[in-house]
Structure 1
Amino acid sequence: MKEQSNIPTGKVERAGRFITTGLKVGTNYLKHYTRRLVDPNLSKESLHADNAEDIYDTLSHLKGSALKVAQMLSMDKGMLPKAYSDMFAMSQYSAPPLSGPLVVNTFQKTLGKSPSQLYDKFEMQAANAASIGQVHRAWKWGKQLAIKIQYPGVANSVKSDLRIVKPFAVRIVGMNEVDMDKYFEEIETKLLEETDYKLELRRSMELSALCAHIPNLVFPAYYPELSSDRVITMDWLDGHHLREFLQRNPSQEARNKIGQALWDFYDFQMHRLKKVHADPHPGNFLMREDGTVGIFDFGCIKEIPEDFYTNYFMLVDKEVLKDEARRMEIYTNLEMIHPSDSPKEVAFYSGLFQQMIDLMTLPFTQERFDFGNEAYFQEIYDYMDYLYNLKEVRDSKVARGSRHSLYVNRTYFGLYSILSELKAEVVTSTTSPVKELVEQ
């Protein structure tokens, strides 16, 4: 893949790139509707493909928050047209990398030395490039190391990028701007944290140590003396990203072991630590044929407020939800139902939410769950598509759902997606948080 010799870092220059892309998208719409005059049966697939390519080309060269939002959208199957999700998914593995001079300049500015002065050997060609940074391979102390380098200007452009990218997200997703305002504030907070590599280093060391007891998980050691606000040095982990791993035809035993390890990893963080690795896209995991999985990116951590946690996991217990008054109280606490709703709106939305909750919490209600059950996931996608197309939902002027639900839901949806790809069968009754909550 062709390297980038520079990244636009100024607000005006970055905004100009978005404006140019917006003009391209407008031209694509004009072309599409002109073609439809000739062929009324023409679908929107070619329009989506053209727009997705133009938008991704801009985002992948700008890097940073804008590309990260595209990556997040690509994980939510059913939210985007397929052309967008397929194109944006590339940001999980293979965005265009920075050129050598920019890499050296980052080291000189933040650590005062070049890579050749810091390591015995440093590969200038990136091994992996994503939305916030890229990874290089290096050697020191007889060890193979992974060096994570943040792109220039990423931290300073978070707020301005999100303001510019929001209209694209509104148009692509179809969500009204009220929802976007509410959740973009949460996204901004998390993205600012992700650009703080000193914070990531501390969290990586802390959470790796706390989760080290979980079977079949592998974490790298981290090296603060070779890290800075834009560089993190850690052990190199061998393994394959999900797509490559599955191409190697791993055994069902290996799939199940990895699936169980990931389930246990998230289960422990959510219920014991109340803070969770909230970026479960496939690019953050390295899988091996022996059933172990490497975890190395703790840039996005969601801390779970106690009151949100309590109400959120009450939704798993069917006995609790049989109590109509308590169910409405939980829905209200989670901002799914609002005090200003009419009785008709309460009945409508509580019915929609209950069906969605029944679907999404099904794995928690069983001793074991087969995530290879394609019918289960198809039912989820069909229902999400149904919700997306409901006029009442699309025209709603009220954002439904706590801001905390954004990353918690994203975490579980990402986990489910990976377990589905693995077709893993998992023991899901490792803890019983709901019983503890009900008994309190």
Structure 2
Amino acid sequence: MAEKDLDSTGLFGEFRRMVRTTGTVGGIAARLAGHKLGIKGDGAAHAEDLKGVLGGLKGPLMKAAQLLSTIPGALPDEYAAELAQLQSNAPPMGWSFVRRRMAAELGPDWQKNFKEFGREAAAAASLGQVHKAILQNGEVVACKLQYPDMTTTVEADLKQFRMAMGVYHKLDNAIKQDNVIEELTERLREELDYQREAANIRLYDYMLADSDLVTVPKTVDTLCTRRLLTMQWLNGQGLQKVLDTNPSQEQRNDMARALFEAWYVPFYRYGVIHGDPHMGNYTVRNDLGLNLLDFGTIRIFRPRLVKGVIELCEALRNKDEERAAAAYEMWGFTNLSRETINILNEWASFLYGPLMEDRVRTINENVETIFGRDIAGRVHAGLQKTGGVKPPGEFVLVDRSAIGLGSVFMRLGAKLNWYRMFQDLIADFDEDALAARQKEAIRVAGLERYI
């Protein structure tokens, strides 16, 4: 075929057209295609370029890429390694802009609600920024104000993101991403509604009401809209700042216990998971408990899936292949060959290995720079050989939480009996009882309207 034909048809033609695309995410697609086609040889530098592009984004698209980076083969290794390090760095809105945005949400006399309102942003969020304020009754609150036109921005970026991942899927089909992309799209759209996030906060307040290790802020519902979330201000320090003080092993373990409780009590008792455990979403209290701060990426699961996770752990611990196959069906996987199940078991054994050994240990005894990256490469190669796998959408946040928490536990250097902690959570597991608890929690939180 002539060079002209190659340039205008097929995959090379698609790549060339995307190179000319001006959209940010179109550029990402071109980078992915170029990477796989060998058009640019330095993968690490190429990944650094992509990190720079995504790092400047407002909105949750960066989070979608980070979520994908935890699934073996969903992105090239270099991209996954770089994306795992990204944090939101969107430029803050100035005071005049903030005033207009607050007036749009609460009316022209919005300032009457506050004794004080910080003019400078106290923190950045994936969709907006946080201001510290004091209500007329003296209560200190955090006001999370969404950037303007985020719905339009998110929808435009999601459209291009689908295009980007479609190109990559043509080049590498180890992970058939239809369900994954649908899941990410649904979760990201949910994050646009801060009233839903307020209901998520009430849900966590209910689920963790008996916890001494975790604090959930109270919402100020009269000052919450779809684009403004007002909640109790919680004092605490970032985890890295605490680690810089060189805490003792006991203190490290205390923080790890709080993390474990914050994420896994809701999952195994109520079928609810927080899908974004990165360190910006919580702070450490003076007593080394945790403050949870961000509740945008919350997923409510079928009780059957929670049972599937427990069944898979037990199957792996007892080397029971038939039980593992049944567990994957509970998760929502379909048409798995025995060879594919064995490959998935390798990944699952890595994720849940600490829960299967009745002894004190670190979360990952084989030191790796990026938690799970080496084994992910082997799993990806195996899936390519077997024709790939189509994960259910629910897999995304379960996987993301396990990888994200594992990375934090590793950074903490925690040494605990993870098996005993897990067994304590599931000792009285009953699928019907979980379903009843979940239904009541959803009712109390006011989440029925969203489900």
TM range (shorter): 0.7 to 0.9
1:375 equivalent among 366, 384, 400: 366
Counterpart of 1:269, as a letter, is P
CA distance in 2, matches of 1:87, 1:359: 21
Give 1:89 deviation, angstroms: 3.4
- Specify the alignment match of 2:242 in structure 1: 245
- Specify the alignment match of 2:426 in structure 1: 433
- Specify the alignment match of 1:415 in structure 2: 405
1:372, 1:425 within 8 Å by CA — same for their partners in 2?
yes
- Specify the alignment match of 1:281 in structure 2: 278
After TM superposition, the structure 1 stretch with the greater mean CA deviation from structure 2, 414-423 or 375-384, is 375-384
Give 1:81 deviation, angstroms: 4.6
Counterpart of 2:339, as a letter, is F
After TM superposition, the structure 1 stretch with the greater mean CA deviation from structure 2, 188-197 or 329-338, is 329-338
Q: Give matches, 1:30-429, under 5 Å.
A: 43-57=42-56, 60=57, 63-73=58-68, 81=77, 85-86=81-82, 89-92=85-88, 94-113=89-108, 116-140=111-135, 141-169=137-165, 176=173, 179-318=176-315, 322-336=319-333, 338=335, 346-367=337-358, 369-371=360-362, 373-375=364-366, 380-388=372-380, 390=381, 393-394=383-384, 399-428=389-418, 429=420
Task: Identify if the C-alpha distance between structure 1 residues 199 and 349 changes in structure 2 by more than 3 Å, giving closer, same or farther.
Answer: same
Task: Identify if the C-alpha distance between structure 1 residues 252 and 327 changes in structure 2 by more than 3 Å, giving closer, same or farther.
Answer: closer
Three-state SS of the structure 1 residue aligned to 2:246 is coil
Three-state SS of the structure 2 residue aligned to 1:286 is strand
CA distance in 2, matches of 1:27, 1:382: 23
CA distance in 2, matches of 1:56, 1:45: 16
CA distance in 2, matches of 1:175, 1:153: 34
2:263, 2:273 within 8 Å by CA — same for their partners in 1?
yes
CA distance in 1, matches of 2:252, 2:407: 14
Uncovered stretches (5+) of structure 2, i.e. residues with no partner: 1-20, 434-451
2:30, 2:164 within 8 Å by CA — same for their partners in 1?
no
Q: Deviations over 1:221-265 (max 9, x none)?
A: 221112211111112222222333322323322221111011122
Counterpart of 1:145, as a letter, is V
CA distance in 2, matches of 1:239, 1:195: 26
TM-score of the pair, normalised by structure 2: 0.77
Counterpart of 2:93, as a letter, is L
Three-state SS of the structure 2 residue aligned to 1:125 is coil
Counterpart of 1:353, as a letter, is L
1:176, 1:395 within 8 Å by CA — same for their partners in 2?
no
Task: Identify if the C-alpha distance between structure 1 residues 291 and 225 changes in structure 2 by more than 3 Å, giving closer, same or farther.
Answer: same
Task: Identify if the C-alpha distance between structure 1 residues 196 and 51 changes in structure 2 by more than 3 Å, giving closer, same or farther.
Answer: closer
- Specify the alignment match of 1:39 in structure 2: none
Give 1:164 deviation, angstroms: 0.5
Uncovered stretches (5+) of structure 1, i.e. residues with no partner: 1-14, 37-42
Three-state SS of the structure 1 residue aligned to 2:324 is helix
Give 1:119 deviation, angstroms: 1.5
1:287, 1:294 within 8 Å by CA — same for their partners in 2?
yes
CA distance in 1, matches of 2:401, 2:330: 20
CA distance in 1, matches of 2:123, 2:211: 27
1:334, 1:401 within 8 Å by CA — same for their partners in 2?
no
CA distance in 2, matches of 1:178, 1:362: 23
Three-state SS of the structure 1 residue aligned to 2:108 is coil
Give 1:90 deviation, angstroms: 3.7
Three-state SS of the structure 2 residue aligned to 1:426 is coil
Counterpart of 1:264, as a letter, is E
CA distance in 2, matches of 1:212, 1:251: 28
Give 1:177 deviation, angstroms: 9.4
Q: Give matches, 1:3-14, under 5 Å.
A: none
- Specify the alignment match of 1:18 in structure 2: 24
RMSD of aligned C-alpha atoms?
3.5
CA distance in 2, matches of 1:360, 1:87: 20
Counterpart of 2:352, as a letter, is T
Give 1:426 deviation, angstroms: 3.2
CA distance in 1, matches of 2:144, 2:47: 33
Counterpart of 2:349, as a letter, is D
CA distance in 2, matches of 1:396, 1:425: 37
Counterpart of 1:381, as a letter, is R
1:276, 1:302 within 8 Å by CA — same for their partners in 2?
yes
Task: Identify if the C-alpha distance between structure 1 residues 172 and 23 changes in structure 2 by more than 3 Å, giving closer, same or farther.
Answer: closer
CA distance in 1, matches of 2:47, 2:237: 31
CA distance in 2, matches of 1:335, 1:123: 47
TM-score of the pair, normalised by structure 1: 0.79
Give 1:397 deviation, angstroms: 5.6
1:337, 1:350 within 8 Å by CA — same for their partners in 2?
no
Structure with greater contact order relative to length (CA < 8 Å, sep ≥ 6): 2
Give 1:112 deviation, angstroms: 0.7
Task: Identify if the C-alpha distance between structure 1 residues 205 and 336 changes in structure 2 by more than 3 Å, giving closer, same or farther.
Answer: closer
Three-state SS of the structure 1 residue aligned to 2:131 is strand
Give 1:165 deviation, angstroms: 1.6
Aligned residues: 403
2:176, 2:389 within 8 Å by CA — same for their partners in 1?
yes
CA distance in 1, matches of 2:216, 2:178: 36
1:260, 1:427 within 8 Å by CA — same for their partners in 2?
no
Give 1:285 deviation, angstroms: 0.8
2:114, 2:134 within 8 Å by CA — same for their partners in 1?
yes
Three-state SS of the structure 2 residue aligned to 1:232 is strand
Q: Deviations over 1:158-182 (max 9, x none)?
A: 4432120234446679753972222
Three-state SS of the structure 2 residue aligned to 1:403 is coil
Task: Identify if the C-alpha distance between structure 1 residues 353 and 236 changes in structure 2 by more than 3 Å, giving closer, same or farther.
Answer: same
